[in-house]
Amino acid sequence: MKIAVFASGNGSNFEAIANQIRAENNEAELVLLFCDRKQAFVIERSRQLGIPSYSFSPADFTSKTEYEEAILALLQENQIELIVLAGYMRLIGTTLLMAYQQKILNIHPALLPDFPGLHGIRDAFEAQVSQTGVTIHLVDDGVDTGPIIAQEAVSLEVGETLESLERKIHQVEHRLYPIVIQQFIEELEMSKN
Ligand code: GRF
């Protein structure tokens, strides 16, 4: 099954997914990266991994619909069946939601429904919770609200700093996301038969 990753920034999850898919030689095929910021480091990572990247921003278009129609054309040309968001810092609009119903995954660095939004790690840290974690969910039209597929908790230790918590969260993300993507693809393949 052909998948596309959408990212906007650093791309450590993109790299973890790409490496895992290669190592496992499984049913998933990471065909392309879509990035909405031409300067993002994730584009450099895709170059090093030899995965084609495509980049355009909503500013290149007159509306969000036109922007997403351009993305949709790219996905359809490449026969993409599953979209994986990995640090894509925009809300998915109606055009893509309708075309990929129940087929857009997202990762969020907190235990949803707690701490949605842009700063999940920092917000949990500042709230002094004893545990936070990582959530993988299907995307709907809300902010981090779609049905939850997987979660893993991360405990805050005595002396935990924001930086150490960020490291722990990212380690869990890099391990968990590729596994969940693979399981999700297997279920999709089975539901086709
Ligand atoms: C991750 O923490 C992810 O949960 C959030 O954005 C971050 C992206 O990090 N949605 P990276 O670009 O994959 O390094």
Atom of ligand 1 nearest to the CA of 134: 4
Atom of ligand 1 nearest to the CA of 14: 13
Residue environment code for 107-119, b if the CB has 16+ CB neighbours within 10 A, otherwise e = bbbbbbeebbeee
- Give the Cα separation of 172 and 34 in Å (integer): 23
Whether 108 shows a pLDDT value over 90: the answer reads yes
In the chain, pLDDT over 70 holds for what percent of residues? 99
Q: Ligand 1 center to residue 192 CA distance, Å?
A: 31
Q: Ligand 1 center to residue 7 CA distance, Å?
A: 8
pLDDT at residue 80, as a whole number: 98
Does ligand 1 have an atom closer than 6 angstroms to the CB of 173? yes
Q: Ligand 1 center to residue 170 CA distance, Å?
A: 8
Q: Strands, DSSP E only, in 26-115?
A: 29-35, 53-55, 82-85, 104-108
Round the average pLDDT of the chain to a whole number and report it.
96
Mean pLDDT of all residues in 157-183: 97
Determine phi and psi for 150, rounding to 5 degrees: -155, 150
| Residue matched to tokens 């917000």 | 123
Which residue from 49, 91, 104, 107 has its CB within 8 A of the most atoms of ligand 1, so it is best to mutate? 107
Tell me the domains of the chain and their CATH numbers.
2-192 (3.40.50.170)
pLDDT band of residue 47 (cuts 50, 70, 90) is very high
Catalytic: 108? yes
pLDDT digits (tens, 9 = 90+) for 71-103: 999 999 999 999 999 999 999 999 999 999 999
Whether 24 shows a pLDDT value over 90: the answer reads no
12 annotated to bind ligand: yes
pLDDT digits (tens, 9 = 90+) for 111-149: 999 999 999 999 999 999 999 999 999 999 999 999 999
pLDDT at residue 178, as a whole number: 95
106 annotated to bind ligand: yes
pLDDT at residue 27, as a whole number: 79
Does ligand 1 have an atom closer than 6 angstroms to the CB of 7? yes
- Give the Cα separation of 168 and 182 in Å (integer): 22
Which residue from 13, 122, 154 has its CB within 8 A of the most atoms of ligand 1, so it is best to mutate? 13
pLDDT band of residue 39 (cuts 50, 70, 90) is very high
In the chain, pLDDT over 90 holds for what percent of residues? 93
ipTM: 0.98
Contact 105, 184 (CB under 8 A): yes
Whether 193 shows a pLDDT value over 80: the answer reads no
